[in-house]
Amino acid sequence: MSTPTDWEATLEQHRDDKNEYFRDSSRSPIPETEQPDFVGLDYYPPDDDYRFELDLHDHDEKEAVVVATTADGEREYLRWGEFRFEIDGEEQTLQAYRRDEDDPGLWVPFRDDTSGEETYGAGRYLDLHADEDRANDRWVVDFNLAYNPFCAYSARYECPMVPVENWLDVAIEAGEKTYESGEGYSAEA
């Protein structure tokens, strides 16, 4: 049996902390009636093939993008740049968004070929933090940290939908899987 690397140990600790929060916190998105029986979220095993150090290709013009939400609302983001990477020999591109010009982080929502099958049908998110997710002046895009929005657990949450430009034609078998007991928003694939 191999010893986990630092990133794997950090990932497992992150997952343990999230499960504890979801099980015990009064602010958990898990419905209160389900919390006593909550045994944890289901994840793909850690896979280094889904961790990338990437340049962000900034867009010259930071175009405002209106994103529909699960409750028929809208949110506005700035299309900040794009990440380019390869999965299974195929080039992929994901747009990265910011809430406003002063936001140092990036929001990277995506749908992929696992959406609606093994993962949440409406897609998953990555949140990248400028102070944490940087290595050698590049962004660490780690799909092992892909997570479901809170609306996957309970319909009382309103979540932004994944823009069509971030729908991938490849399976991202990393990160969080579908939460089976949830009463959340149901997206048609």
Whole-angstrom distance, CA of residue 109 vs CA of residue 63: 17
pLDDT at position 189, please? 40
> Looking at the DSSP assignment, which residues form a beta bridge with residue 176?
43
Element at 145 (helix H, strand E): none
The model's pTM is 0.90
- Confidence tier at 158 by pLDDT (50, 70, 90): very high
Tell me the Ramachandran region of residue 157: left when phi exceeds 0, alpha when psi lies from -120 to 50, beta otherwise. beta
Whole-angstrom distance, CA of residue 120 vs CA of residue 124: 7
pLDDT at position 137, please? 79
Sign of the CA dihedral running 136, 137, 141, 142: positive
**What are the residue boundaries of the structural domains of the chain, listed by start?**
6-166
Give yes or no for residue 166 having a pLDDT over 70: yes
- Per residue in 102-144, pLDDT (tens digit) is 988 999 999 999 999 999 999 999 999 887 767 677 999 999 9
Tokens of 54: 């990437």
3-class DSSP assignment, residue 171: coil
- Confidence tier at 51 by pLDDT (50, 70, 90): very high
How confident is the prediction for the chain on average, in pLDDT? 90
Q: Which amino acid is at 44?
A: Y
pLDDT at position 127, please? 95
